[in-house]
């Protein structure tokens, strides 16, 4: 019988932080692997499109220092997925730079594989023309211009590139865009553990202590993988795992409660059991894996325009009671006063009315005594979006409406300048599955070796 394969998951994303005491409690359990996810598409297309990481470099360095030192002291692998947030080349390069700093400062010795996940748009275009790209879910099909105008296109690697890097002797594996569970499951699968259980446990561990109660992505979780089960427990004594919390997290970020598709297959959870082993630990059995043709999820982004916003507020009950009509009037007046010979979009996000859910908001009656308004103008150039926002803001500020008493202005501005040029905005231009017979070859890797902090 195989011994348990123990995995320490420090946090939901590198840079989110974790209590030092929780991390040290995990290290004391002598894990066989430290793994951490580092990215997501949750923050939207901007970070991938712009190449700017959505995690703070200082926070990432703090977390990575703990992880690298522990991996070197224990002599175990450290695997990081979706480095820098979106896993494109500039995100990956920043994380490599941070690792270099830490290795130098801490005099660490290790071999690191850096796995690229960025795809050349010309290659993607060839695959598109060959019919090997299919839209994912409800995403629209892409055009050739969508592909060529993409600033960055990444592929979501599965376990194969990570396993290859470990086979070649890498102790630290730094991945570009990566399937979330893969950083956790690949080393275990390489050791011969069940693919379904390893993937399911990776699905739980990639968000760290979110699967505990109270949940948190900024605290540590431990996983124990056996031959026909896995167990999970938080490393902070103030948290606990329950069958409800772990099974609920299994449903997290899924379109189907029992099926979780990923690169090359589907995790089938129809027959899973979640049993409390202790007050703080849950045992899971019954996960199955259905092999499918190999596909890689591609994510690409392109510039969609430029945004200018103005943030303001109002607490006049007469104004608030007529807000829908006022907004329509301001939009109409802006169009007339601007006489624009360019296309633009103008939106008013109203907090205190339907700012969160928009048209899906079931409560139509405004009950708040004040509202916050974000005037949102998007156009093809920064100057055009600024012009639209300026005219809309000044129009709403002085807009006349029935019953109006004060004429000094309808809006209160918390900031000066009132208009903020956000800059370029991005949209997903590629959100497709790419069919492939060799999922490892699509993700080239380089090797960097450190000896007492110096590259050799």
Residue 384 clears pLDDT 90, i.e. is over it: yes
- 417: preceding bond cis by omega (within 30 degrees): yes
Residues 324 and 335: their CA atoms lie apart, in Å, by 17
Beta-strand pair 419-435/445-451: unpaired
Q: How far apart are the first and last CA of the chain?
A: 40
Where is average pLDDT lowest: 35-44, 104-113, 294-303?
35-44
Beta strands in 315-418 (DSSP E): 344-351, 371-379
Tens digits of per-residue pLDDT, 177-234? 999 999 999 999 999 999 999 999 999 999 999 999 999 999 999 999 999 999 999 9
Where is average pLDDT lowest: 81-95, 248-262, 296-310?
248-262
User: Cα-Cα-Cα-Cα dihedral of 197, 199, 202, 203, to 10°?
Assistant: -110
Residues 238 and 309: their CA atoms lie apart, in Å, by 42
Residue 1 clears pLDDT 90, i.e. is over it: no
Mean predicted confidence (pLDDT) in 108-119 = 98
Residue 271 clears pLDDT 90, i.e. is over it: yes
Which has the closest alpha carbon to 439: 155, 180, 152, 169? 155
What confidence score (pLDDT) does residue 175 get? Answer: 98
What confidence score (pLDDT) does residue 365 get? Answer: 83
Tens digits of per-residue pLDDT, 349-361? 999 999 999 989 9
Q: What percent of the chain has pLDDT over 90?
A: 91
DSSP state of 213: B
Q: Judge whether 5 and 188 are in contact, CB under 8 Å.
A: yes
Average confidence score pLDDT of the chain: 96
What confidence score (pLDDT) does residue 170 get? Answer: 98
Residues 194 and 176: their CA atoms lie apart, in Å, by 25
Residues 63 and 120: their CA atoms lie apart, in Å, by 31
Mean predicted confidence (pLDDT) in 157-176 = 98
- Residue 376 pLDDT grade (very low, low, confident, very high; cuts 50, 70, 90): very high
What confidence score (pLDDT) does residue 252 get? Answer: 80
Q: Comparing 93 with 255, which gets the higher pLDDT?
A: 93
Q: Comparing 139 with 379, which gets the higher pLDDT?
A: 379
Residue 253 clears pLDDT 90, i.e. is over it: no
Q: Comparing 67 with 43, which gets the higher pLDDT?
A: 67
Residue 287 clears pLDDT 90, i.e. is over it: yes
What confidence score (pLDDT) does residue 366 get? Answer: 83
Residue 138 clears pLDDT 90, i.e. is over it: no
Residue 256 clears pLDDT 90, i.e. is over it: no
Structural domains in the chain?
5-117+157-294+436-455 (no CATH), 303-428 (3.30.70)
What confidence score (pLDDT) does residue 39 get? Answer: 86
Beta strands in 363-418 (DSSP E): 371-379
- Residue 254 pLDDT grade (very low, low, confident, very high; cuts 50, 70, 90): confident
What confidence score (pLDDT) does residue 243 get? Answer: 97
């Amino acid at each position: 019988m195989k011994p348990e394969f123990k995995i320490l998951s420090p946090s939901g994303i590198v840079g989110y932080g974790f209590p030092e005491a929780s991390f040290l409690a995990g290290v004391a359990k002598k894990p066989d692997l430290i793994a951490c996810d580092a990215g997501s598409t949750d923050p939207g297309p901007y970070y991938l499109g712009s190449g700017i990481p959505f995690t703070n470099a200082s926070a990432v360095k703090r977390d990575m220092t703990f992880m690298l030192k522990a991996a070197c002291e224990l002599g175990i692998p450290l695997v990081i997925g979706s480095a820098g947030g979106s896993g494109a080349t500039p995100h990956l390069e920043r994380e490599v730079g941070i690792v270099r700093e830490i290795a130098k400062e801490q005099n660490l010795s290790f071999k690191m594989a850096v796995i690229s996940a960025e795809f050349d748009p010309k290659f993607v275009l060839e695959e598109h023309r060959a019919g090997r790209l299919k839209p994912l879910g409800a995403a629209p099909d892409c055009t050739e211009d969508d592909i060529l105008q993409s600033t960055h296109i990444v592929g979501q690697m599965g376990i194969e590139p990570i396993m290859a890097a470990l086979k070649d002797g890498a102790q630290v594996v730094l991945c570009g865009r990566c399937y979330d569970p893969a950083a956790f499951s690949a080393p275990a699968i390489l050791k011969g553990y069940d693919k379904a259980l390893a993937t399911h446990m990776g699905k739980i561990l990639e968000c760290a202590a979110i699967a505990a109660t109270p949940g948190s992505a900024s605290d540590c979780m431990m996983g124990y993988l056996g031959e026909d089960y896995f167990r999970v427990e938080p490393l902070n004594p103030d948290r606990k795992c329950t069958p409800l919390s772990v099974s609920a997290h299994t449903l997290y970020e899924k379109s189907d409660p029992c099926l979780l598709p990923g690169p090359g297959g589907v995790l089938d959870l129809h027959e899973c059991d979640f049993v409390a082993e202790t007050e703080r630990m849950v045992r899971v059995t019954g996960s199955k894996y259905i092999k499918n043709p190999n596909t890689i999820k591609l994510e690409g982004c392109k510039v969609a325009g430029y945004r200018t916003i103005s943030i303001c507020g109002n607490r006049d009950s007469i104004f608030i009671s007529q807000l829908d009509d006022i907004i329509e009037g301001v939009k109409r007046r802006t169009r007339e006063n601007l006489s624009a010979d360019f296309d633009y979009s103008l939106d008013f996000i109203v907090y205190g009315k339907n700012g969160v859910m928009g048209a899906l908001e079931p409560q139509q009656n405004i009950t708040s005594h004040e509202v916050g308004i974000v005037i949102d103008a998007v156009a093809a150039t920064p100057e055009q979006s600024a012009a639209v926002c300026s005219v809309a803001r000044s129009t709403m500020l002085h807009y006349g409406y029935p019953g109006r008493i004060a004429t000094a202005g309808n809006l209160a501005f918390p900031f000066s300048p009132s208009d903020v040029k956000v800059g370029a905005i991005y949209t997903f231009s590629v959100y497709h599955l790419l069919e492939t017979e060799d999922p490892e070859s699509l993700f080239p890797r380089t090797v960097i070796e450190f000896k007492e902090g110096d590259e050799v």
